[in-house]
Amino acid sequence: MTSPKSQLFEKFADLARVLGHAHRLELLEHASQGERSVERLAQLAGLSVANASQHLRHLHSGGFVQSRRDGNRVLYRLGDGPILELLSALRCYAERSRAEVREIVADHFAQLDRLEPVSREELLGRLQDSSVILLDVRPKDEFALGHLPGALNMPLNELERRLSELPKDQEIIAYCRGPYCILSFEAVATLRANGYKIRRLEDGFPEWKAAGLPVEAAA
C-alpha cells in the first residue's frame, strides 16, 4: 500500500507541516541569526519557554534547526541544507499569488518600492570601492553573533541619538534579519527623514551568510 512515492509524499508533507505554524517560522527566523538559547528564543518570539521548547523540537525533527548543549543551556541554530531557499520559495509564492499577502506587504512595508532595495551582488561591488557605509540595525547581541564585514552596529532604538555618527554625504546601506524584518525599513524611514542617503539590502544577514559570503563575528 505504501508505495515509495507515497512514502516520499509523507516525508515532504511532514516537513511542510513543521513549517505550518507562525510561531515556528518566527523561531526559525530568530535561530537563523545565530545560536540562541531556548529562553532567548522564547522571549524574542513572545512564547513561554516550554512552548518554545516544544516548537523547537518540532523544527529539530525536521532538521530546520540544530542544537548543542553549552553548560546548562541548549543553543539552537539554523540547520543544514537549503532551508532559506525553501523559505524564500514559500515567501515568493505567497507574495506573487496571494492577494492578502500583497496587501499586508503594501500596507505595512509600503515604502518597499520607493526604497529601491540593494541586491547582494550590488552591495558586494559597492563594498570594494568602500563607497558606502554598511549599517546593521539589529540588536547588539545578534550583531555579536555575526555580521557583514565592516558593518557598523546601531540598533534601531539607539539610532536617533547616535545620528551624528553617520555622514550625510555618503550612501548608507542598512540591513537586518531578513526580507520582512521591519528593522531596516524603520531605519531607512528615520534616516531619510533626517536627510541621509540610505537604502536597504533586499534581504538580511542569514541570507548573506548562507550565500557563502564573508561574515565577521564579534572581536
Q: Annotated active-site positions, please?
A: 176
- Taking CA atoms, 174 is separated from 2, 76, 119, 134, in Å, by 50, 26, 12, 6
Q: Which grid cell is 95?
A: 507574495
- Which of 30, 55, 199, 209: binder of DNA (CB under 7 A)? 55
Distance CA 49, CA 55 (A): 10
- State yes or no: residue 90 binds its own copies (CB under 8 A): yes
- Which of 11, 12, 16, 51: binder of DNA (CB under 7 A)? 51
- Taking CA atoms, 112 is separated from 126, 133, 137, in Å, by 21, 20, 17
Give me the residue label for grid cell 503594501: 106
Piece of 25-33, 49-57, 110-118, 204-212 that binds DNA (CB under 7 A): 49-57
* Beta carbons of 191 and 172 less than 8 angstroms apart: yes
- State yes or no: residue 68 binds DNA (CB under 7 A): no
* Beta carbons of 64 and 83 less than 8 angstroms apart: yes
The pattern of x and - marking residues 103 through 122 that bind its own copies according to CB under 8 A reads -xx-xxx-------------
Q: Which does 107 bind (CB under 5 to 8 A by kind): DNA, its own copies, none?
A: its own copies
Piece of 6-14, 51-59, 124-132, 156-164 that binds its own copies (CB under 8 A): 6-14
Q: Which grid cell is 9?
A: 509524499
Per CB under 8 A, residues contacting its own copies are 3-26, 62-63, 79-83, 85-86, 88-94, 96-98, 100-101, 104-105, 107-109, 180-182
